[in-house]
Amino acid sequence: MSAHRPIHFARRAFAGKEVGRGPTHFNLAYEITWVQQGHIQFDLGHSVVDAVAGTCIVLPGDMENTPVGRAAVLHQLWLPTFWLEEAADALGPRASAPQVAAVLPADSRVTALTRVVMEEVGSGLDASDPGMGALMDSLLYSLVRERAPEVLHRRQDVRIRRALERIALEYANPLRVEDLASAAGMCRYSFLRAFRASVGESPYQYLLGYRLERAAERLRKAKGVSVLETALECGFGDPGRFARAFRARFGCSPREYRARHGN
């Protein structure tokens, strides 16, 4: 499985306040999308897959879909079906390539590996590098093994979308559950239940993850900004708490992350 494979990937951005619709198309391969920022829908005709920042969307080949997004940044990777079939054959009868569209949570192994692959490709690591080959093997094996709970074809509550949009605009500011519930036009209790049902995690967990993803992005791109400034600009008033949360999500300190991934 470690032979050199050409990697086909793209970074896509939906900017501004207007909803953008990508072209309706069929995938000729498995399409793996890591949502770096914002939220995105894939209209499958009979249903909708809806994902938020930090999560990963898996769309099988030969599936017609239309991307719909606003203020979203996506990283997409295309994997030929026979790669997954080879990985499943190598693992035995209990492994199989995914057959349905799914959204995998931020703590899924597939999501973590997809993010790392995208970061390594973005840093210039060639597909022929042995390290990239090992990463791709791990991703393929994880895809055919993946048994984590999947969020399938779920239509997102428009009220929750308003709360997510407020987070995207004001994540650096102090945001309480009451503020987000107000944006959604709901009482606190109903909002908490509806948010978890729609997004798959609590508002606090989502906001924390969103802030950490923005901090990681700044560490990669903003060379002249210190780790402390990054923490403050992304909504973390306590540098120690920021460092602990960052390590829990990315497996290293903010300084180590910048050293590895900074351009």
CATH number for the domain that contains residue 88: 2.60.120.810
User: Does pLDDT of 198 surpass 80?
Assistant: no
- Among the candidates 145, 169, 202, a domain finishes at 145
- Residue 13's pLDDT band (cuts 50, 70, 90): confident
Handedness of CA 119, 125, 131, 132 (dihedral sign): positive
Which domain covers residue 43, as residue numbers? 8-145
Residue 122 shares a structural domain with residue 221? no
User: Does pLDDT of 3 surpass 60?
Assistant: no
Residue 67 shares a structural domain with residue 101? yes
Residue 122 shares a structural domain with residue 251? no
Residue 103 shares a structural domain with residue 180? no
| Most confident of the following: 109-113, 151-155, 181-185 | 181-185
Domain count, the chain: 2
What local confidence, expressed as pLDDT, does residue 4 receive?
54
What local confidence, expressed as pLDDT, does residue 263 receive?
61
User: Does pLDDT of 262 surpass 80?
Assistant: no
Residue 108 shares a structural domain with residue 213? no
Handedness of CA 215, 103, 26, 46 (dihedral sign): negative
Residue 98 shares a structural domain with residue 183? no
Q: Is residue 73 part of a domain?
A: yes
- Residue 19's pLDDT band (cuts 50, 70, 90): low
Residue 135 shares a structural domain with residue 163? no
Q: Determine whether 30 is exposed, middle or buried from the number of CB atoms within 10 Å of its CB (0-12, 13-18, 19+).
A: buried
Report the amino acid identity of residue 195. F
Percent of the chain at pLDDT exceeding 90: 18
Residue 66 shares a structural domain with residue 131? yes
